[in-house]
Structure 1
Amino acid sequence: MTTGPDDLPDAAATGDVDVEGLLKRFGLSDKEVDTYLTLLEHGEAKASTVAEAAGVSKRYVYSASEELEARGFVTVNDHVTPTTIRANPPGEVVDRLATDAQSMRPALEARFSRTESVTEPFEVVKSRVTVVKRIRRAIGEATAEVTLSFPLDRLDEVADDLRAAADRGVLVLLIVTGVDEPNDGLSRDLTGVASAARAWGQPMPSMLTVDNRTGVVAPPEMIERSNSGKQGIVFSQQQLAPVIVGSFIGNYWPAAAEMVVADPAPLPASYTNFRQAVFQAELHRRSDDTVRAHVDGRLIDGGEAVEVTGEVIDVSQGLVAPATNDFPVQHTLTLDVDGERVTVGGPGAFVEDIEADEVELSTPAE
């Protein structure tokens, strides 16, 4: 008997291919992978069916399905009641992924030919012009958070970059240095430049961190004048960035005078940057809004994955005056989850109940 290609066992079915791993390489999260594979097994199903089989919330299934549909993995039939979700034929999905990957090749190769050889974890910079360029470029690439201290009389060199970052939803925390007497005029000048801005009259190095991974540290003389003979450091080490952020928020931010705090952002909104979630929750609560939070994360005690939803009943923070935290770098959301107080912290949390990966904030309809 002759065996043809169609008679051979599927590699994925025999476990020779790590389907979950490959899907993750195409940008799917763990839960998106679980949702999609569940849909493949059902062909077409209601969100509640998928949620039960995949072990996720019904709310998450709807959210994940929108992302999967945008990528061509599924089709959401929202013209019927209840809404159903149908897995697209795997052959079509694979063909689309292959086409997308192939179409990227010319652009990637073109960029590769223009790229500098290797990105070093540290770069010593002797030129003031180069330091400012590095700061501006890093701010322009920010997607979640910027912390920056910068001389007031040089702020115009980076103000547009900061304003653009704040406009696209980045949490921008700014300390302007060289300010002897903060005044209302300074507050007006700083409005829109940052999510929150403070003024500091004492000498302070220019410190930048972006998305908790890259940044710049430079002596104040280097930013204030050319040919100072000083050197700055540009770094791209994820181990170092949190240390710089901790110094910025823990040492300098509490001592500086608050000048500007932006209006709260519209909700609902999801945040992977926990400080942004805390910042927005605090602003909305100060506006007398009832705020609810849906948290994806893990238990501090044991590490199990967990999802919780509840009203934000307390915020411990030091981003907006007056501070309400017990120590400068503490940022905590306290939720009422079915009558139980549950505390939520960000990456590296140790005094809370849950370490959050993502927080969705909403204000319930009146």
Structure 2
Amino acid sequence: MANGKRAVWPALDSDDEAALLRPLAFAEGGGLPFSLWVVLARALSGHPWTAQDVSVFRDGAGELLVETQTSEGMAYRLRARGARSGGRQTQRAITSALLAEVPLDGDGGHRDWPAAAPYIVDHLAAHAAAAGALDETLEDAEYLVHAEPRGLLRALNIPGSSHGSVRRSIYRASVHVHATASLPERRDILAVDAARHGDTGLARELSRGRPWRPRWATGTMVHPALRFTKTGLGVDAAACTVIDGRPHAVTGCYDANVRVWDLVDGTERLVITEDDGVYALDCVEIDGRPHVVTGTCSGSLRVWNLDTGAERFALGGHKGWIHAVGCTVIDGRPHAVTAGEDCLVRLWDLVVGSERARMPGHTEEIRAVAFSEVAGRPVAVT
């Protein structure tokens, strides 16, 4: 609550109360800083609300609000998130109002992004994407440099216009380094990626005032389909699943680490450590929750909960390298089929963690497994 109790504010009709609460229904992150609450209340209602009006209303509406300490001071959002009425039109008004709050520099009247409020730097992309105006916003080269990378990447996943596809592709080309790069580093990287995409105008604009600028670039084999890249980590096995409604990838590596990646924003969600290199894995749902089955080069086979990283089962029996892990459903129950250096194919019931069948017949190590259905029954091809 804003002050722990409900104060009395000047009589407002229900429309006025709704107008003052409406900006908070669209707040991103921890909420709107007070100054932007005032700005958006004016922008969305057309009424000249003053800071005093909003302050008195805030102090009396405490039980309706959540107050959070941020780098800008206190931020506010609704305690109960309701429907966002107005949709795209409202978000466009918010986007325009936020852009108008970015100061202009004294050199050509360009937006002075270093002086912009942190909320705008962090969340403008989300509002612009919801407004269908992100591609217009990306036309500002300085915004590409100063926007908070994770927030911008999430917004880039919302489909835009064909006109904006090049700017989106330029930003994604090196998105794996933007979050940790300094502003000068990010500027230089974006300039090089602009040159790689043939956007010499953007490359020139980004390089203005820098000690060097790219004149041409190799590595032009880039594609708008690229979402993000991770480097410096080995990947020897990969599978995809859904966790809490969001797409994720699970990767295994010779370094014994199993990493879980959020595919919406490219962030690492979880790291699980096996006892040896992981060269085979697959994802499966057990009891309604996501799990991964991992096989190592020393014969270990384990089932891990992807919510917590906790081990559910250790499945013993294989000798030597496990090259193949696949998951399927048999008689309504999740199962895994595993195989490897010992020439045996094993079938595991993943509800109870028991071996259901052992299938000999191979005379050499097995490196792959896939599933199909024949006459209504599941089959594995190894």
Query: What is the TM-score with the length of structure 1 in the denominator?
Result: 0.24
Higher relative contact order (CA 8 A, sep 6+): 1
Query: What is the TM-score with the length of structure 2 in the denominator?
Result: 0.23
Higher helix fraction (1 or 2):
1
